[in-house]
Amino acid sequence: MSLQQIIDRRLSGKNKSIGNRERFLRRHKEQIREAVKRAVDGRGIRDMERGEDVHIPKKDLSEPVFGHGDGGVREVVRPGNQEYVKGDRIAKPKGGQGGGGSGSGEASDSGEGDDDFVFHLSKEEFMQVFFDDLALPNLARTTLADTPEWKSQRAGFVSDGTPTNLHVVRSMRGALGRRIALGMDKRRELHELQAREQDLLKEDRPETPRLLAETRERIAHLRARLEAIPFLDPIDLRFRARTRIPVPTTRAVMFCLMDVSGSMDEGRKELSKRFFILLYLFLTRHYEKIEVVFIRHHTQAQEVDEQNFFHATETGGTVVSSALVLMEQIIRERYSPTEWNIYGAQASDGDNWHHDSGRCRELLAGKILPLCRYFAYVQVAEPEQNLWEEYEKLAEDQPHFAMRKAVEASQIYPVFRELFKKEGAAA
């Protein structure tokens, strides 16, 4: 039996140990997950794809060690003791700069201080932890986390390249310009000497034969120099240059609709934000330009910025159709379906005024879905409300409409499993 050994000699990036870094991430997984969760709560949807600094207390970095004591009863004389005698009890050190606290620096009344260790998560590591919480399959992680595909596009001309990319016309134009530039002074002098030769032929002086011979010798030299200029030189060659650009060439708009009535607490809003982030990440891999429109609603709908969208609260009832009406109005005014790929994402706890749910279904079926490439609805509460029942009727005959319930982050992805299939990517 033969024994085969495989040695991995690949270098770690930037002199860092990849193995140690992965072990560190596994060991402090909980602190890292908490840091990512805080980052998701504090960041905007458009600002998800970057790294994060993770602050880990010094006490969590300690490792168990074995130590051997001196054993027995021993008397030790410590130099510099002017305060204690045998039998005294030594008090615990007080906190502060020289005390036993694990932090550094003085106490602060602003709630801030220096942590003992700061670890920076890269963009890829941050997205990996974010996807772990959403329970995405590996192929979907790859589709969302990797960079988009590229295509080749013409980008002018370069002096180096393969023969298949040689541009003959541009090369010959450069060669002609070079020959004109290099022979300009010689041709000017040649024309002057030829005119002088004609004048000498008309003269009858003793020195005329000598001058005529010198002139003809110079003319022959200049003609030889002009003929020595190469017709085509390597510096004249020009090759077609190509550059890589992202495949997406179109633009999309993402409408985020969310209920902000009193029944939508912070936990449900956090689930909704995860839902919107996942859709935005999906769109960034398909489109070059993406705009996001935030519409919040209770009994009335309003277009707001992202800060007010996720953090403002209202009291009172819910009329979902007001958000759909405003969405349809904004599409008609600013986002022509012939120029934009329109996506809708709605999050709600399902609570709605009873007589309004039927109108929501009619608005979606008659006005909004014909304009959208895809519309996804997620209910962040388990009980089935009248809005859920009406949307179920709509989902039966609308291929680009999906609806799911999600009471925790790992339940959000099934909505996008259908989205990936409809967009041509397997889940």
End-to-end CA distance of the chain: 42
Bridge partner residues of 243 (DSSP) = 153
| pLDDT at residue number 147 | 47
Q: Give ∠ CA 380-353-304 in degrees, rounded to 5.
A: 60
Q: How far does Cα 371 stand from its chain's mean position? A: 28
| pLDDT at residue number 199 | 83
- Tell me the pLDDT of the chain (427 aa) as tens digits: 566 777 666 555 554 566 666 777 776 677 777 777 676 666 666 666 666 676 666 665 666 677 776 667 777 776 776 777 777 887 776 755 444 444 454 444 444 454 566 767 776 676 676 666 555 445 444 555 544 556 677 788 888 888 888 888 888 998 898 888 888 888 888 888 888 888 888 887 888 888 888 888 888 888 888 888 888 888 889 898 888 765 555 678 889 998 887 777 777 888 888 888 877 877 776 677 788 999 988 888 889 888 888 776 666 677 888 999 999 999 999 998 888 888 898 888 888 887 888 899 899 998 999 988 888 888 888 777 788 888 888 877 787 888 888 888 777 766 666 555 544 443 4
Region of residue 351 (phi > 0: left; psi between -120 and 50: alpha; otherwise: beta): beta
With beta carbons less than 8 A apart as the criterion, state whether 134 and 412 touch. Answer: yes
| pLDDT at residue number 108 | 42
Cα atoms in the Cβ-side hemisphere of radius 13 Å centred on 367: 16
Calpha distance 380→269 (Å, rounded): 8
| pLDDT at residue number 376 | 86
